[in-house]
Amino acid sequence: MGSLMTDFAISAQHLARSFGETRALVDVSLDIPAGSVCALLGRNGAGKTTTVRILTTLLDPDGGHAQVAGFDIASQADRVRERIGVTGQTATMDELLTGHENLEIIGRFSHLGAAVSGQRADELLEQFDLVDAGTMLVKKYSGGMRRRLDLAASLIANPEVLFLDEPTTGLDPVARSEMWAAIRNLVARGTTVLLTTQYLDEADQLADTIVVVDRGLVVAEGTPEQLKASIGRPSVVVTLVDADQAALEKVRAALGTDAVIRGRSVSAPAADGLETLAAVVTRLEELGVPVHEVGLEHPSLDEVFSTVTHRLGDHSPDAPAAVPA
């Protein structure tokens, strides 16, 4: 079952969707290999949620088409629904039901039958550390617990493809890292995940590939490393044990004309990456200054993000700029 003509768990071509005058999606194409994690990264209103709603059969596109788990989202919507799990931005758990009842009902609606649904609910409560909360009404849950329950609910029928729409927005740092751990766990089991996020570190932490969307268009895509590499070269950073000005000057002179001093560190462009790093380490040994740390620093995804989303300016772009792999 599933992948009929493609190895992609999600394959979307030129999706477009407008709401009245607003063009929420202009042209979004995605190819997400089975078993990988793709992060759809963008600001509020970039078109992330619209993309997810189309791929999860909640919304019809005005243009383009897509297959999820090998089935067409328009003509085979029910086949798609049997194979996906969805955790939306808004809480979808019923406050008047307990955690266990919520999971069990989703299981029954997934046609697992009453017995299996109850059993799966028990397993998932355990997996998501909600055993004690299982008999509690959801209205008494904390924000983090609700998100975990929501995620658990989307896993009840062991979906092939999981959609997570901003899974950690609004969570405190502890709940956020718990959520990350839960998502990593799933990925380890081979589930294909499409997650949307406005947090770069989240995309960097969780995703194999990142697709940057802005104003309804794909503006960049690639692995986190490719995206970073596309923006600039890494730099080598030497941090000394203390801010001894004379020692810092020595190091700066050794690292070349582009080197700059920041606090007790000196950084310089590493044109040849690791080779540059190796050369720098050798030079530092010769200099004999007390070094605390030496390393390569890549440009942050923040820089990537602001570069690709601003490169387009205010005028409407005519073609998505893909980052060469």
Partner 1 sequence: MSAVALPRQSSVQRGLVDAYNATRRYLIRGKRQPDIIFGSVLFPVIFVVLFGYVFGSSISVPGGNYHSYLMSGLFAQSTLFASSQVAVAVATDMNEGVIDRFKTLPIARSSILIGRSVSTIVLGLPALGVMILCALAVGWRPENGIFDAILGFLLIELFAFALSWLGILAGLIAKSSQAADVISSIPVFLLGFVSNVFVDTSKMPVWLRDFADWNPVSAVVAAGRNLFGNTIGPPPSGVWSLEHPEITTIGLALIIIVVFIPICVRRYSRTSR
Does residue 45 bind partner 1 (CB under 8 A)? no
| Spatial CA neighbour of 142 closest among 194, 116, 179, 112 | 179
Mind giving me the DSSP string for 113-150?
-HHHHHHHHHHHHHHTT-TTTTTSBGGG--HHHHHHHH
Does residue 113 bind partner 1 (CB under 8 A)? yes
Does residue 157 bind partner 1 (CB under 8 A)? yes
State how beta strands 291-297 and 161-165 pair.
unpaired
Does residue 215 bind partner 1 (CB under 8 A)? no
Instruction: Please say which residue, 119 or 239, places its beta carbon nearer to partner 1.
Output: 119
Stretch that binds partner 1, among 21-29, 91-99, 127-135, 215-223 (CB under 8 A): 91-99
| Options 30, 103, 149, 153; binder of partner 1; rule CB under 8 A | 153
Does residue 83 bind partner 1 (CB under 8 A)? yes
Task: Name residue 196's beta-bridge partners.
Answer: 40, 165
The answer for residues whose C-beta is within 8 angstroms of residue 144's C-beta and 6 or more apart is 171, 172, 174, 175, 178, 179
Instruction: Please say which residue, 189 or 315, places its beta carbon nearer to partner 1.
Output: 189
Does residue 89 bind partner 1 (CB under 8 A)? yes
What is the C-alpha separation between 95 and 195, in angstroms, rounded? Answer: 25
| Spatial CA neighbour of 277 closest among 262, 293, 290, 292 | 293
Does residue 169 bind partner 1 (CB under 8 A)? no
Does residue 255 bind partner 1 (CB under 8 A)? no
Does residue 158 bind partner 1 (CB under 8 A)? yes
Q: How far is the CB of 230 from partner 1 (least distance, A)?
A: 34
Return the amino acid letter for 196.
T
**Structure token pair of residue 124:** 């998932």
Does residue 122 bind partner 1 (CB under 8 A)? no
| Options 62, 82, 129, 303; binder of partner 1; rule CB under 8 A | 82
Contacts 24+ apart (CB under 8 A), 253-260: 254/280, 254/283, 254/284, 254/287, 255/280, 255/283
Q: How far is the CB of 212 from partner 1 (least distance, A)?
A: 25
Q: How far is the CB of 206 from partner 1 (least distance, A)?
A: 21
Does residue 289 bind partner 1 (CB under 8 A)? no
Does residue 58 bind partner 1 (CB under 8 A)? yes
Number of residues engaging partner 1 in binding (CB under 8 A):
41
Tally Cβ neighbours within 10 Å of residue 303: 15
Stretch that binds partner 1, among 25-33, 104-112, 214-222, 257-265 (CB under 8 A): 104-112
Does residue 101 bind partner 1 (CB under 8 A)? yes
Find where tokens 């909360």 sit.
133
Tally Cβ neighbours within 10 Å of residue 20: 6
- Identify the H or E element spanning 247: helix 245-255
Instruction: Please say which residue, 89 or 226, places its beta carbon nearer to partner 1.
Output: 89
Does residue 59 bind partner 1 (CB under 8 A)? yes
What is the C-alpha separation between 242 and 77, in angstroms, rounded? Answer: 63
Q: Contact residues for partner 1 (CB under 8 A)?
A: 1-2, 53, 56-60, 69, 78, 81-84, 86, 88-94, 96-97, 101, 105-106, 108-113, 116, 120, 137, 153, 157-160
